[in-house]
C-alpha cells in the first residue's frame, strides 16, 4: 500500500507532518494552528489519523498540540521526557492517552508501526520517528545538531527521509550567502540579496551550532552515508535567516550525485506555504 507524506509546515515558525496510507495515518508534531482544518483543506482524511507523535516540547512543534489532541480524541506518542515536558508546559491535556516510546522499540497503531529514536537537541528527550506500514517506511528527523551512527542506522533503512537542513555554515559564519544560482524568491538572481535577513547574536549562533540544528553541510554528509539507499529525501526546518532553499538543495544534490535520489525542499515562508508544500508518496 502506498504511504503518503505531507509536510504541512516546516521551520522555526511551525512544524507538522502527515504520514499515512489508505487506512491509517499519524501526524508528527502540531506546531501550526488550525491543524485539523489544514488537513481537511488538503483532502487528507482526518478520520484515518490514529495518533499525534511529538518530537520534542519546543513551541514550533507543539503549539496547537493540546487543541488538536482534544478535537481529534487521539493518543499522543513520544518519549517520556518529551511527554512530561509538554504536559508541564501546558501543551498537552493532562487527561489525554499517552504512549511512552522507548528508543527504537516499535509500537503498533492500526496498520502502522511507530518507532521513536533519540535525536540530539537542546530539549528534554527529543526524538525522531520512523513510520512503517509493512510496505513502505518513512523516517522523520528534525531538530538535531548531529546525526549519530545509531540514528543513521535507522534512517538509512527508510524509503524516504524528512531530514533537517537548517543553516548554511558559511552564511552563519559571515552573515552573507555564498554564490548561488537562484535566491529565495525562486528564480531571482541572488546578487542583490546576499545578506542574511536578520543577524543573530553570537550566543544564539553558538547554541544553534552546538546543541541546536543541522547545517546544510552536515545534512549532506548524512545523506552521503545513506549510500543511495533512501529514494526520497525532503529537506526540512530551513532557517529563514541563515538558509535558502536553493543552497540546501544544491548541497543535497551534490551529496546524492548519480544515486537517483529525489530531493524535495520544504521552506517555511507562510505566504508561500501552498507553493512550497512538499507532498510525496512511497
Ligand atoms: Zn524546531
Ligand atoms: Zn527544537
SS3 letters across 25-42: EEEECCCCCCHHHHHHHC
Of the pLDDT bands very low, low, confident and very high (cuts 50, 70, 90), residue 276 is low
Q: What's the pTM value of the predicted model, to 2 decimals?
A: 0.94
CA of 29 to the centre of ligand 1 (A): 10
Q: How far is CA 136 from the centre of its chain?
A: 18
Note the ligand closest to the C-alpha atom of 58: 2
Summarize the confidence of residues 43-57 as an average pLDDT: 97
Q: What is the pLDDT of residue 247?
A: 87
Residues with CB under 5 A from ligand 2 (ion): 58, 143
Angle formed by the axes of helices 216-225 and 245-256, to 10°? 30
Q: What is the pLDDT of residue 198?
A: 84
pLDDT(191) > 50? no
Residues paired with residue 128 on neighbouring β-strands, in sequence order: 117
Q: Give the whole-number percent of the chain exceeding pLDDT 90.
A: 79
Q: What is the pLDDT of residue 257?
A: 82
pLDDT tens across 100-123, in order? 999 999 999 999 999 999 999 999
Summarize the confidence of residues 74-84 as an average pLDDT: 98
Note the ligand closest to the C-alpha atom of 208: 2
Question: What angle is formed at CA 281 by the lines to CA 260 and CA 61, rounded to 5 degrees?
Answer: 105
Q: What is the pLDDT of residue 96?
A: 97
d(CA 46, CA 267): 24
pLDDT(136) > 90? yes
CA of 146 to the centre of ligand 1 (A): 14
Which carries the bigger pLDDT value, residue 268 or residue 136? 136
Domains of the chain are: 4-281 (3.60.15.10)
Note the ligand closest to the C-alpha atom of 9: 1
| Mean pLDDT estimate for the chain | 91
Q: What is the pLDDT of residue 175?
A: 87
CA of 60 to the centre of ligand 1 (A): 5
pLDDT tens across 168-180, in order? 999 999 888 876 6
Q: Which three cell numbers stand for residue 67?
A: 487543541
Of the pLDDT bands very low, low, confident and very high (cuts 50, 70, 90), residue 90 is very high
pLDDT(269) > 70? no
Q: What is the pLDDT of residue 273?
A: 46
Q: Which three cell numbers stand for residue 141?
A: 528527523
Which candidate, 146, 155, 143, 164, places its Cα nearest to that of 227?
155
Q: Give the whole-number percent of the chain exceeding pLDDT 70.
A: 90
Amino acid at each position: 500500500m502506498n504511504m503518503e507524506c505531507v509536510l504541512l509546515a516546516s521551520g522555526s515558525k511551525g512544524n507538522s507532518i502527515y504520514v499515512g496510507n489508505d487506512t491509517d495515518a499519524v501526524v508528527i508534531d502540531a506546531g501550526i494552528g488550525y491543524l485539523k482544518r489544514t488537513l481537511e483543506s488538503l483532502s487528507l482524511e482526518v478520520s484515518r489519523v490514529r495518533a499525534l507523535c511529538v518530537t520534542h516540547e519546543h513551541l514550533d512543534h507543539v503549539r496547537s498540540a493540546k487543541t488538536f489532541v482534544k478535537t481529534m480524541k487521539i493518543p499522543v506518542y513520544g518519549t517520556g521526557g518529551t511527554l512530561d515536558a509538554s504536559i508541564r508546559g501546558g501543551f498537552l491535556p493532562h487527561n489525554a492517552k499517552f504512549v511512552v516510546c522507548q528508543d527504537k522499540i516499535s509500537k503498533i497503531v492500526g496498520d502502522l508501526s511507530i518507532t521513536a529514536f533519540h535525536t540530539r537537541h537542546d530539549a528534554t528527550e527529543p526524538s525522531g520517528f520512523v513510520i512503517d506500514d509493512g510496505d513502505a517506511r518513512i523516517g522523520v528527523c528534525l531538530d538535531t545538531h548531529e546525526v549519530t551512527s545509531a540514528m543513521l542506522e535507522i534512517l538509512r533503512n527508510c524509503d524516504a527521509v524528512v531530514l533537517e537542513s537548517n543553516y548554511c555554515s558559511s552564511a552563519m559564519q559571515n552573515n552573507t550567502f555564498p554564490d548561488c544560482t537562484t535566491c529565495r524568491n525562486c528564480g531571482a538572481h541572488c546578487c542583490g540579496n546576499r545578506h542574511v535577513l536578520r543577524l543573530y547574536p553570537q550566543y544564539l549562533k553558538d547554541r544553534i551550532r552546538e546543541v541546536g540544528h543541522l547545517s546544510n553541510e552536515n545534512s549532506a554528509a548524512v545523506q552521503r552515508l545513506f549510500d543511495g539507499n533512501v529514494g526520497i529525501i525532503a529537506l526540512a526546518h530551513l532557517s529563514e535567516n541563515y538558509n535558502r532553499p536553493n543552497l540546501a538543495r544544491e548541497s543535497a544534490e551534490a551529496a546524492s550525485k548519480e544515486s537517483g535520489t529525489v530531493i524535495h525542499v520544504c521552506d517555511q515562508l507562510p505566504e508561500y506555504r501552498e507553493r512550497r508544500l512538499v507532498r510525496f508518496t512511497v
